[in-house]
Amino acid sequence: MRIAVLQYPIAWGDIRTNVSHAVERIAALAGKADVALLPEMFSTGFCVDKPELAEPVDGYTITTLQQAADTYDIAIAGTFICREAYMLYNRGFLLSPHAAPQFNDKRHLYAHGGEDKFFTPGNERIIFTYRGVKMLMLICYDLRFPIWARNVSGHDYDIILVCANWPEVRINYWDALVAARAVENQCYIVAANPVGDDGLGLHYNGHSVAYDSRLKDQLGFADDEEGTRIASLSLEALRHFRDVLPLWKDADRKLVKKI
């Protein structure tokens, strides 16, 4: 499975510009990658006070990206501001070529940034599937909550996809948490984070990564580097690693409430 990570600046609140930039980068990946991974809220930036930016699942953003997926034969993953009835969601998506879209709403909303007052949290953990590979999407703040990501049977999923808007001021936490989720779940993890400045005075310095089962980064982005890099992940190697060292068999199946 070849997963391309797109690390680049997001134009604040400008859907048309951001979608156009994403499609240009995706077009360049035709024949080179199986999945293109975008940062969280790639089409707007982390805007939590602009309900006018919300779109339905059949709106401009998803429709345009689905056309790109079909044209360039590549699956596309990311999140956008979704409007459904009277509710808003930070909605993750996996758009596969010539297939029905798969969606997953962000579960943990970042109250410190006002996200809990803007969005409705997701209530179901969805496992995406593409070309026989099972993938769990964590959306930024979800990364902090290991129970939500727990790979209970050791085979619930093979890859964690992380779409984030994680600022430089807290990047040390990002570095630690991305690695921890890969180790404890015996899986690959591929995480996309932007670079540049947003409309709130925060700076983003990337640190997008793709860890293999031995915690080796397959991308090697430098701080603040803009660009696209591709990680080649071997599912056979991962399954062999799990068979040789089946740590998942010793995992707790439920929370320990009393000792």
Catalytic residue IDs: 40, 106, 140
Who contacts 94 (Cβ-Cβ below 8 Å, separation ≥6)?
A: 35, 75, 76, 77, 101, 102, 128, 130, 135, 137
First to last CA, the chain: 43
Tokens representing 252 are 């707790």
Are the C-beta atoms of 106 and 69 separated by less than 8 Å? no
Are the C-beta atoms of 190 and 5 separated by less than 8 Å? yes
CA gap 46, 12 in Å, rounded: 8
CA gap 167, 149 in Å, rounded: 22
CA gap 43, 155 in Å, rounded: 32
DSSP letters, 152-168, are TTS-S-SEEEEE----G
Are the C-beta atoms of 154 and 242 separated by less than 8 Å? yes
The residue behind tokens 């080796």 is: 216
Quick one: which of 245, 248, 232, 234 has its CA closest to 155?
Answer: 248
Are the C-beta atoms of 213 and 237 separated by less than 8 Å? yes
> Which segments of the chain does DSSP mark as H helices, in order?
15-27, 60-72, 146-149, 171-185, 235-244
